[in-house]
Chain A
Amino acid sequence: MREGEFRNPSGCAVAGVIDRSGRKMTGADMIAAIEVMHDRSNGLGGGFAGYGIYPHYKDFYAFHLFFESQKAQEETEAFLKRHFEIVYASEIQTRKLPAVSGEPVIFRYFLAPLPRKLANSHLPEREYVARCVIRINSEVAGAYVFSSGKNMGIFKGVGYPEDIGRFYRLDEYEGYAWTCHGRYPTNTPGWWGGAHPFGLLDLSVVHNGEISSYDANRRYMEMFGYKCTLQTDTEVITYIIDYLVRRQGLTLEEVSHVIAASFWSTIERKKEPARSQESLLRRMFPSLLITGPFSVIVGYEGGIMGLCDRLKLRSMVCAEKGAKAYISSEESAIRRIEPSLDKIYSPAGGEAVVYELYRQGGRA
């Protein structure tokens, strides 16, 4: 069964960590953290995003794909060869576990866009790659690109997140930032492609909640060539952030004033220039306001961001210890991997918390 064919009554867990000094850590800590929140998931989805994990291939787009049939793989590879130079391709190494079953064929390709093809497309490189991802996902039956950024990777599937992390051997990868998700699907049965994180290029999103503006958001995004193929709300959040940051040039804080905009009554009470700026953003992108409960962690090259809906209908705590920064649905998950913290606090609804790598040569 696929997303959209069935409705399942309803929670989720999200967590993220970044070492702002750029020092790398394995995925083992994220697995330990998300395991504390086991009961927020129901075994129907778990996943991780790691940043800085492919240093030897950092100049190539790393595509992770699920294939449900030989035919889907052949069709996809023919498409990839027409559009990219395939620098390296292999099956992603997994560990067989009794707790994880029914996995599709899982492949990884390191790709460089074919220069002539790219030039003829008159598109910026990242737009070219994003369009290829959207084409495969909407046109090749049984194939799904679930990760497409440089020097980062998404790993996900059906199962409890700690099992999915061990299945993908994430203790053998090293990255400066990780995010993860334990799923409790609320509307749909849960399949490998529907697990979180969702990603496009280096952007990844993990999400706890259920947004009520999905269709309004989806219809608006479809005007810009995004195709929502998965019937799940997190996908559209990913595309909204990609659109606002990559194509409209907004900062992440500005994005938060669009998707989790304050109530007009709250904006009116703010001081200038915040009042004018937030009013402008709300007026410019009214169709991208996301309503309903959500807490998300957004991963991107060089940082992570935590954001909750304006009513704070889902929990979130942020913490810091030296160069490391943490975001989680529950404090207990952070304490599991770092018992003594320098600082811990709960952001307000709609308040973006951004943790980024320190700029070279100094501390941010």
Chain B
Amino acid sequence: MKIRANGMHYAALNAAVRDSEETDIEISGCGGQRYLGAGLADRKIFVYGTPGNALGAYLNGAEICVDGNVQEATGDTMNGGVIEVHGSAGDATGYAMRGGKIFIEGDVGYRCGIHMKAFLSQHPAIVIGGRAGSFLGEYQAGGTIVVLGLHTDGKPVIGNFCGTGMHGGEILLRCETLNVALPAQVRAERIEGPGSEESAALIREWCARFGRNAAPYLQAVYYRLTPNAENPYRQMYTPN
């Protein structure tokens, strides 16, 4: 089904997507409509234009592909499925994500992957082609974030305060040197290649989706950030 979204209210657009009898839906002329695909399990949604905030919130298995940039809180509390963005993403991408995968071709804004968590078979992942803003993986509790650093503006691969409050999961940063301050409770380890078959598979998938040869990314140097078990949070809100 094809929907021309020009000027449509988000409630009407979301209702049309939800009520469609076809699983494949193409939305053109998208301009700021929020909550697209929220909570959906069995749809493949192609979006042309600029979708609004909270794209794919609570996504539960559906696939969303965007030809353009996305705004704030993409994949908020996402539970399963895939969001693929041929462009860059705003702040709080993958906020409190607990399953599924987000692939961003360009950069992400502040607080990407904040409060991300994993549980049993649920292992959320975000792969970013460019760079990430400050507070990447803040309070991260689980899952994997990969930043490939293909940006060309000369800025560091991550901003300030990466991994603040991190207590689970991992962050992989593709870069030769890591010239940023990290919290004392986060450990950075320099590794050749992505470190695990799961991470290699994520990188291969990103490359396949954005038409890149995976080989150089699988052989590159990465910094792997994980919570430092030898230096735990001794005090948070109350002494313990």
Specify the main secondary structure of chain B where it touches its partner. loop
Instruction: List CB contacts (< 8 Å) of A276-314 with chain B.
Output: 311-312
Contact with A along B66-82 (1 / 0, CB 8 A): 00010110000000000
Stretch at the interface among B45-53, B140-148, B168-176, B193-201: B45-53
Contact (Cβ within 8 A) A332 B91:
no
Are B181 and A330 neighbours in the complex by a CB distance under 8 Å?
no
Chain B residues whose C-beta falls within 8 Å of the C-beta of A39 in the assembled complex:
10, 34
Question: In residues 62-89 of chain A, which contact B (Cβ within 8 Å)?
Answer: none
Say yes or no: is A315 at the interface (Cβ < 8 Å to chain B).
yes
For residue B103, CB closer than 8 A to chain A, the reply is no
Report A-chain residues with C-beta under 8 Å of the C-beta of B134: 311-312, 348-349
| Interface residues as binary, A34-62 with B (CB distance below 8 Å gives 1, 0 otherwise) | 00110100000000000000000000000
Shortest distance in angstroms between B222's beta carbon and chain A's nearest beta carbon? Answer: 23
Contacting residues of chain A (342-356) with chain B, CB-CB under 8 angstroms: 344, 346, 348-349
Bound complex: CA A330 to CA B10 (Å):
15
In the complex, what distance in Å separates the CA atom of A36 from the CA atom of B53? 12
Q: Size of chain B's interface in residues, with CB distance under 8 A? A: 24
- B124-168: CB near A (< 8 Å → 1, else 0) gives 000000000111000000000000000000000001100000000
Question: What is the bound-complex CA distance between A349 and B52, given in angstroms?
Answer: 21
B100 at the interface (CB under 8 A from A): no
- Whether the Cβ atoms of A36 and B109 lie closer than 8 Å is no
Question: Which residue of chain A has the shortest Cβ distance to B11 in the bound complex?
Answer: A39
Tell me the count of chain A residues lying within 8 A, CB to CB, of chain B: 21
Does A333 sit at the interface, judged by CB under 8 A? Answer: yes
Residues on B with C-beta less than 8 A from A120 are none
List the B residue with the shortest CB-CB distance to A317.
Answer: B90
| Residues in B whose Cβ lies below 8 Å from that of A311 | 110, 134-135
Given contacts A36-B31, A331-B50, A346-B133, 18 further A-B contacts (CB under 8 A): A39-B34, A311-B110, A311-B134, A311-B135, A315-B90, A330-B52, A330-B71, A331-B90, A332-B32, A332-B49, A332-B51, A332-B52, A335-B49, A344-B69, A346-B109, A348-B133, A348-B159, A349-B134
- Interchain residue pairs A-B with the least CB separation, the first 5: A332-B32, A332-B50, A312-B110, A36-B32, A332-B31
Contact A333 B32 (CB under 8 A): yes
